[in-house]
Amino acid sequence: MILALRAVLYPIAAGNTVILKSSELSPQTHYLLASFFKEAGFPPGVLNVICHAREDAPLITNTLIAHRAIRKINFTGSTHVGKMIAAKAGEHLKPILLELGGKAPLVVLADADIKKAAEAAAIGSYMHVRAAQSPFLHYISGNLLNQPCEKI
């Protein structure tokens, strides 16, 4: 939900309309997001959500990219799919913003509150299990490694 909200909020705030192609794995999440915009009083057509079956993804994605009304593409997801979307966007000379794969690091510095850092690591790792902002790598200052495991 956070990634979808972030993807649509800025363009809408700038006065644009947005098409959100929902995930085939969790379309209800994006439908719920659209219902929030409707409930908040946004006019019809400001946020448009397209839901589809997984096997229809290439056709729908290519059709959207090729459409003359689509002026910019924003994609968050796997590197593999991002490459395909970037190639198609390039064919149509459409600007594209990609946030691909990988996981974000969590850095714990020497002066950190170790209990708060451990809580942040746990929440980040389990709340965002599949998201790019999920801390996958934990970099911990050397002197903190001597702390008892109970604190961490």
Domain ranges (residues) in the chain: 2-100, 104-146
Q: Which residue has the higher pLDDT, 108 or 132?
A: 108
Q: What is the pLDDT of residue 39?
A: 95
Domain 2-100 has CATH 3.40.605.10: yes
Q: What is the pLDDT of residue 115?
A: 84
Q: Which residue has the higher pLDDT, 100 or 146?
A: 100
pLDDT tens for 60-84 read 999 999 999 999 999 988 888 899 9
Does residue 128 register a pLDDT over 80? no
Q: Can you tell me the mean pLDDT for 102-120? A: 79
Residue 137: exposed, middle, or buried by beta-carbon count in 10 A (0-12, 13-18, 19+)?
exposed
C-alpha 47/C-alpha 43 separation (Å) is: 9
Mark 82-114 as b/e (b = at least 16 C-beta within 10 Å): beebbebbeeeebebebebeebeebebeeeeee
pLDDT tens for 13-59 read 999 999 999 888 778 888 899 999 999 999 999 999 999 998 999 99
CB atoms within 10 A of CB 74: 17
Residue 44: exposed, middle, or buried by beta-carbon count in 10 A (0-12, 13-18, 19+)?
exposed
Q: What is the pLDDT of residue 133?
A: 56
